Chain A
Amino acid sequence: MSDTDMDLLSVRDLRTSYFTRRGELKAVDGASLRVGRGEIVGVVGESGCGKSALALSILRLVARPGRIVGGSVSLEGRELLSLPDREMREVRGGSIAMVFQEPMTSLNPVKTVGWQIAEAARAHEKGLGKRQALQRSAEMLKAAGVAEAERRLASYPHQLSGGLRQRAMIAMALIRRPRLLIADEPTTALDVTVEAQILGLMKDLRSEFGASIVLISHNLGVVAETCDRVYVMYAGEIVEESDVFSLFERPLHPYTAALLKSLPRPDDRSPPGTRLHTIEGSVPDLLARPAGCAFAPRCEKAVPECAVAAPGLAQAEEGRRVRCHLYAQGGSR
């Protein structure tokens, strides 16, 4: 690929497995993705599709019995997977930051929010005084949309609402001026009006700080409103890659299309009680993946070939790739 030099993050053929008593579970099974500078990239899929494992792998935070078994993750041309642990810790504290779903479990309950944000600032910038660090924390909280930021510095996490906690997490992540922010379901635990605030904040941060964002979400609405490009995952694989507009207007992969059709929308016009489109069956057991395409058993458009041969991710249109035999004529992986 010629565009890789331009990219901030480039993940190639990443494989992460969990070694369980029942066998090797391929949580991420050869995922490739790229994130351009200042870009917001979405990774969307249902529970167990591997989207969180992908995020953890980029940060090399996969816990046992999981392990990255292959592939490459490069940030600004620097390979992360072979980096010594100490240098990788600096990357996590510096160039890449992460925001998780439940801020309460990622904040220290016995330290004030101000202490925690200031600690992050000082870890990043040696020689930064305590007072200076606190002042910078207040500024960052303000940038994250927290009113009365100075007063909030003295609050403990339990004294804050879910929305404020998530803002504190975002402030902590951004105080190190990361090049890349990985946000794993950052608004899933929040109410919709707060979700709208946080998503607005993330878009502002992109324009103000120039950070790139990887947004991991199960929520198609959140992805549609926030991202520039989207990767759809199913059963550990990326099944579709597209710019956000084409994806929602004209999904290519039958899974993406079915998912969008089965989604109840607030702007729906059909009379109440109209049945939803359903995807029959459920996601495959990753320890007993079907041969061929993982989605074939649930796919309305499956042809005999789908049960036999696994399709590769192939270019279907300019900037769009899809893992499906329907589009693979003339070229596969």
Chain B
Amino acid sequence: MSDALVEGIGLRKLFPIGGKGSARAVRAVDGVDLTIRRGETMALVGESGCGKSTLGRLLIRLASPTEGRVLFDGEDLSLLKGSSARASKRNMQIVFQDPYASLDPRMKILDILGEPFETHEGTRGKEKAERVSRILETVGLDPSCMQRYPHMFSGGQRQRIGIARALALDPKFVVCDEPVSALDVSIQAQILNLLMDLRERKGLTYLFISHDLGVVRRIADRVCVMFLGKIVESGSVAEVYGSPRHPYSMFLVAAAPLPDPRARFTPKKVLKGEMPSPTNPPSGCRFHTRCPYARPLCAEAEPKLASAEGRAVACHFPLS
């Protein structure tokens, strides 16, 4: 068995804009290679519009790439058809940010959580209820709540239901797309612990998408920093936070507010300017228009993501 569970190769996703015949497109994901190892939690961090959610969806075929391939367990997902394609989907699931928007308000919890069993295994009636009650217990909810509707639950409970639905069919790989961003701190900790427990108990592999560097620090083994559709740096979380090599990663880490008032005595490195447009990204290195260390080469040539000793950085003049 190979070490890699999920591999994205040359992934690109363009969303055309401006109507028929227009050549303009939002370059949401623009040439990404990414390997997620079996059993690890890989985090994807970056700011709104950097393409992290789109990349997550491409990896589980919730969106199909404009270019590139996704290998799952060594198999090219785009080549699978019919029943084998459906079977492969059991193995990859997603937990969404807003647990309210992702649960049908007119369905009982029994039906929301029973659907995967019905669709994939034809399980109905009493057996379905038993499976649902077991999965509810797994995520720390009382099985008696299965006759209720989503609006009768708090935000944290709804997210437990969202996690239960993702785990119903025992997937191997789960994309968690900002799973705790809508939750209060005290509830957030409960859900993060649940995700960590489930990972251990079920041997899951996570792609954890988040803008919260504190959350990522606790849950992830490795992290990829995205900027405008590209991965600009990757490595272990401790290394990337401790000694970022890409200037953008450095600004991102520096910007995260610390719950420590003494942090104000260290002058903050604040990134200037605005995010460039993903429709018409800057030439060369996409960060060069905002980078205080940019030199002429940066506007001309696009830096490749070069890896060494488990770290990778796409910068002509990486920080040391």
| Interface of A toward B, CB cutoff 8 Å | 46-47, 147, 161-164, 191-197, 199-200, 218-222, 224-225, 244-245, 247-248, 258-260, 262-268, 270, 272-280, 282-283
Contacts and interface: CB of A to CB of B under 8 A. Distances in A.
Question: Most A CB atoms within 10 A — which of B212, B241, B255, B273?
Answer: B255
B111 interface: no
B184 A46 contact: yes
Given A193-B251, A272-B218, A248 B189 contact: no
A266 B214 contact: yes
A265 B258 contact: yes
B192 interface: yes
Contacts of A277: 189
Contact of B261 (A245, A266, A267): A245
Contacts of B185: 46, 218, 220, 259, 262-263
Given A192-B252, A265-B259, 12 more contacts: A191-B48, A192-B213, A194-B47, A196-B268, A222-B257, A224-B260, A258-B186, A264-B188, A264-B215, A267-B258, A270-B218, A280-B190
Contacts, number: 143
A273 B217 contact: no
Contact of B259 (A258, A263, A279): A263
Contacts of A224: 257-261, 263
Q: Is the interface of B mostly helix, strand, loop or mixed?
A: helix
B14 interface: no
A163 B187 contact: no
Given A218-B184, A276-B193, A192 B259 contact: no
A192 B256 contact: yes
B192 A245 contact: no
B275 A161 contact: yes
B41 interface: yes
Contacts of A260: 259
Interface string B188-209: 1110110010011000000000
Nearest to B50: A191
A92 B279 CA distance: 41
A193 B218 contact: no
Nearest to B156: A282
